[in-house]
Amino acid sequence: MFRWLTLAAGLLVLAVLALILVFTVKEAWPAIQHEGVWGFLTGDRWVPNDPDGPGPARPMYGALAFIYGTVVTSLIAVIIAVPISVGIALFLTEFAPRRLRGPVITVIDLLAAVPSVVFGLWAILVLGPWLFDAYQATHGLLGAVPVLGSIFGPPQGPRAFMTAGIIVAIMIIPIITSITREVFATVPNADKQAALALGATRWEMIRGAVFPHSFGGVVGAVMLGLGRAMGETIAVSLTIGAATQITANLFGSGNTLPARIVQNWGDPGIPPGRSALVGLGVVLFLITIIVNYLARLVVSRAEIRMKGASA
């Protein structure tokens, strides 16, 4: 009896997931039909224009610029957030005096409770002008260097891929930190003591005993943060600048899938504008699935290798 109940619960999740996919694809179909699946995924122009007026001859819906923006901002966020989060977690589990631990954890968890619109507004009103100066200085410093010059290109304003990435990084730090901390706490004391007894320094102990044991968990935490980063809507919409472009310049404006959806949902333009927005949702959904699958692959591969090495 209990077995069937749990089976039903398990299947329910799959069914909900399948239903979401089926219905969103159905809703998005007019737009996908309009562009073709390949055209929708690889088009880099988004012109939900009135076909009565002059200008581009027909509405165009291409998701590529938004896919690019989603990937870029999430990567910036993860690259910034992971070292900081792992550092905080290590500090809390291995180094922090017991008295400090409680307050620090509380403050970090509080960070997770701040609504994303507050982060977005703070980024634009307070951080924005300051970041713009920093971007200009960075561009002045690195603008002439070959590859870095195009990555840190001329800033157009405080709203940029970089700004969105930084804000999302701050938002995912609490998530990654708290899970990583729990994972680090599960490392058996015997392993750590053994490493220290063999004459390892603290850093060698962490590298040899803590990291291999908790690698899977940390990757899981990063994936959770990445999922949050890819789906973050309001804060990104406020900070990224809503430009439909694919550029290496991280100081340029761009847009992401969820931000485009929220910006245009109220006035989606002429049909199939609304379907096209749902289509962006489907694309986001698929990207999330792919990323999670890849993460699983990484974890299983790495666990075999690391456990093998440490055994």
Partner 1 sequence: MNRSVLTRTAVIGVAMAALALAGCSSSSDPEPDPSGSAANPYASLTGTLDASGASFPNNYYQAAIEAFAEVAPDLEITYRSTGSGTGKREFGEGLTAFAGTDSTVKEGDGPQEGSYLYVPTVAASITISYNLSEVPDLQLSPSTLAKIFSRTITRWDAPEIAADNPDATLPAKDIVVVRRSDGSGTTNNFTKYLVAAGGSDWTLGSGDTVEWPADTQAGDRNTGVAQIIQQTDGAIGYVDFADATASGLTFAAIQNADGNYVVPTLEATTAALAGATLNDDLTYNPLNAPGADSYPITAPTYILVRPTYDDPEVGAAVKGFLTWLLSDPVSIEIAHDEGYATLPDSIRQKALAQIESVTVG
Binding residue (CB under 8 A) for partner 1 from 136, 138, 150, 156: 156
Residue 242 makes contact with partner 1 by CB under 8 A = yes
Q: Is 263 exposed, middle or buried (0-12, 13-18, 19+ CB in 10 A)?
A: middle
Nearer Cβ to partner 1, position 47 or 302? Answer: 47
Residues 6 or more apart whose CB falls under 8 angstroms from that of 96 comprise 104
CA angle 307, 310, 311 (to 5 degrees): 80
Binding residue (CB under 8 A) for partner 1 from 39, 143, 227, 269: 269
Residue 199 makes contact with partner 1 by CB under 8 A = no
Q: How far is the CB of 286 from partner 1 (least distance, A)?
A: 24
Residue 140 makes contact with partner 1 by CB under 8 A = no
Q: For 157, left (φ over 0), alpha (ψ -120 to 50), or beta? A: left
Q: How far is the CB of 159 from partner 1 (least distance, A)?
A: 6
Residue 264 makes contact with partner 1 by CB under 8 A = yes
Q: How far is the CB of 189 from partner 1 (least distance, A)?
A: 51
**Which one, of 85, 39, 25, 55, lies nearest residue 222 by Cα?**
85
Q: Write the CA distances from 15 to 18, 28, 236, 280, integer angstroms.
A: 5, 20, 31, 22
Q: Which stretch binds partner 1 (CB under 8 A): 94-102, 183-191, 193-201, 267-275?
A: 267-275
Residues 6 or more apart whose CB falls under 8 angstroms from that of 123 comprise 131, 163, 166, 167, 235, 238, 239
Nearer Cβ to partner 1, position 157 or 217? Answer: 157
Nearer Cβ to partner 1, position 16 or 117? Answer: 117
Kind and range of the H or E run holding 46: strand 46-47
Binding residue (CB under 8 A) for partner 1 from 138, 150, 263, 288: 263
Binding pattern to partner 1, positions 116-135, x when CB under 8 A?
A: --------xx--xx------
Residue 49 makes contact with partner 1 by CB under 8 A = yes
Nearer Cβ to partner 1, position 40 or 46? Answer: 46
Nearer Cβ to partner 1, position 245 or 292? Answer: 245
C-alpha–C-alpha distance, residues 253 and 233, integer Å? 16
Binding residue (CB under 8 A) for partner 1 from 93, 214, 247, 256: 247
Helix (H, G, I), strand (E, B) or coil at 169: helix
Q: Write the CA distances from 166 to 215, 275, 292, integer angstroms.
A: 25, 31, 22
Q: How far is the CB of 87 from partner 1 (least distance, A)?
A: 34
C-alpha–C-alpha distance, residues 281 and 258, integer Å? 7
The residues that touch partner 1, with contacts defined as CB under 8 A, are 45-50, 53-56, 124-125, 128-129, 156-157, 159, 237-238, 241-245, 247, 252-253, 262-274
